[in-house]
Structure 1
Amino acid sequence: MQANSLDDLAAGLARNRIAGLVADLRLDGLHSKAEAAAVQTAALDAYADDFAGYVLVGTSELSRRGLGLSSPIFAPLADRALFGDGWRIHLPQGMIGAQCELAFTLGRAYPERGESIDRHSAADAILACQPAIGLLGRRVRPGTESELAAIADFALHVATVCGPLVEPADKDSLDRAVMTARIDGKTVVTAKAGTILGHPLEALVWLAQKLARHNRQLNAGDVVTIGSCAPILQVLPGQHLTVEFEMIGTASCWFD
């Protein structure tokens, strides 16, 4: 695909995200993950000036199946798309649903020079943890649903709502934390955090490895949302969603 075509796609994606609209864009013309990533980068540059970290999508088998992904995908987290607990969010066109997830805040650069990227070092790099709700959606009309299109389309990210920060007493046991999601007070799903790549810390390991291949790293203060431990939940205007993780806390938001 020609560079001007990539730029046009990126500009269109950014316009649609800002306006909350879905429109026809030829994302089926992407031929590689490198092209898809280039469109994502250009679209993010057109959408936002500041970034708070990264979002992961498709880190559990159930969420990948629902999204048609063969492996996890990720994108930088735009600061303007990160909200605090209890936020009221207008649902744009193209909504897919909500991720029930955790968010890690890095206390230092990761990995440091010469540092092994593994679960032990990931735990050491984490300063705090939060329950989170990640909203997913598309900026293109149905029919362009390939994995390359998902990568280019901001990795399907719309917005993230994070609950209060906590310092986990035992990061190694995070996989045993039970998540309960409720819509308007009614339980709709429960799941263990260990469905996220076998252990939540493995999501941070996976991202750090991906970045390291391009000579990049996570920075102190970065927020990393690690993807849903449950199927993607359909959410509708007028509903109130709460996501509670044992030993960690609760995140909630309202939808208009």
Structure 2
Amino acid sequence: MTQHNIQAIAARLREAERTREVIEPVRGEIALGGIPLDDMSTAYAVQQANIDARIAAGERIVGRKIGLTSLAVQKQLGVDQPDFGALFANMAYGDNQPMPLGSLIQPKVEAEIALVLKHDLVREKHTYVDLINATDYALAAIEVVDSRIRGWDIRFVDTVADNASSALFVLGSRPVPLADVDLFNAAMTLERDGEVLSRGGGAACLGNPLNAAIWLADRMAQLGTPLRAGDVVLTGALGPMVAVTQPGIYTANIEGLGSVRATFV
């Protein structure tokens, strides 16, 4: 696939986000590229083209997100690994801060554990000790995912090209050291108006959210864009996603980390 074609797909995704009008899946167009890039590499090249465009427009990267951390979802999409996307400062919201629902296309929310780093992670292969030593604290988080692809008709390369279906993210206000939370056993509920819509826990995220974070740290270092001090890492969903169809408050409660609210207006 030529650089021209990569830029053309990226531009279509940008325009879909800007106009909030969905497009058809891009996997067929990506598959036509073939050599010299495989489909996954091409999809990440499309993602990077839009990252570059956002940075050129003055936006600031503040971290990364990990997607597809559920083994069941990986199997559904025919892959054996997660994916990742970039987080920008203008995607970040605070606990209970109003978010305009009209700025999104077909949003869904999922509860996650966010890690905030105090040291860079630059090795090609990291250990639990490396990651624990590099983490400043954990936060309860809600990721608002969205897809520029019609009806969420996505496969792996569609979501990768679309910045891992990223949209917004909400961070809780209670930083907790890793020593004070059991990430594996951290139970989660996601509710709206007192009705529980999703349940899960830390073990649903690649067996432990730290497993997902290590995968990301290795991958980013190998690509020459390592995770840096101050970065936010969204480690992946703790339970099923929930579609957002109307204004309201979605509250994630995560054992050991407290609660965080995504407020759509």
Q: TM-score, normalised by structure 1?
A: 0.90
| Unaligned segments of structure 1, at least 5 residues | none
Cα distance, 1:143–1:184 mapped onto 2, change above 3 Å: closer
Distance 1:173 1:142 in 2: 36
Residue 43 of structure 1: CA displacement? 1.3
Residue 100 of structure 2 is aligned to residue 90 of structure 1: yes
Q: Residue 53 in 1 paired to residue 40 in 2? A: no
1:48-127 alignment to 2 at 5 Å? 48=55, 49-64=59-74, 68=77, 70=79, 71-91=81-101, 92=103, 94-111=105-122, 117-127=126-136
Inter-partner Cα distance in structure 1 for 2:181 and 2:64: 22
Residue 232 of structure 1, CA deviation: 1.1
Q: 1:44 aligns with which of 46, 51, 65?
A: 51
Partner of residue 207, structure 2: 198
Mapped to 1, the partners of 2:179 and 2:238 lie a distance apart of 19
Residue aligned with 1:28, SS = helix
Secondary structure of the residue aligned to 2:251 is strand
Deviation at 1:74, TM superposition (A): 0.5
> What aligned pairs does 1:218-237 form with structure 2 within 5 A after superposition?
218-237=227-246
Superposition RMSD in Å:
2.2
Give deviations 1:119-169, integer Å, cap 9, x for gaps.
Answer: 221111100111111111211324852211110011111111111141325
After TM superposition, the runs of 4+ consecutive aligned structure 1 residues lying more than 6 A away are none
* Residue in structure 2 matching 1:133, options 142, 148, 165: 142
Partner amino acid for 1:119? Y
Among 28, 33, 42, the residue aligned to 1:35: 42
Among the aligned pairs, what percent are the same residue? 25
Deviation at 1:93, TM superposition (A): 5.2
Give me the TM-score of the superposition, normalised by structure 2: 0.87
For the pair 1:245 / 2:251, whether they are aligned, the reply is: no
CA distance in 1, matches of 2:183, 2:194: 25
Matched-pair contact (CA < 8 Å) for 1:58–1:69: no
Distance 1:205 1:135, change over 3 A: same
Task: Give the direction of change, closer, same or farther, for the CA distance of 1:65–1:180 in structure 2 (3 Å limit).
Answer: farther
The one-letter amino acid of 2:115's match is F
Query: What's the CA shift for 1:72?
Result: 1.1
Counterpart-to-counterpart distance in 1, 2:47 and 2:178:
36
Q: Secondary structure at the match of 2:66?
A: strand
Note if contact 1:128-1:165 (Cα within 8 Å) is conserved in structure 2.
no
Task: Quickly say closer, same or farther: Cα 1:97–1:199, change in 2 above 3 A.
Answer: same
Q: Give structure 2 stretches of 5+ with no counterpart.
A: 32-38
CA distance in 1, matches of 2:162, 2:24: 13
After superposing the two structures, state which structure 1 stretch, 20-29 or 120-129, moved more: 20-29
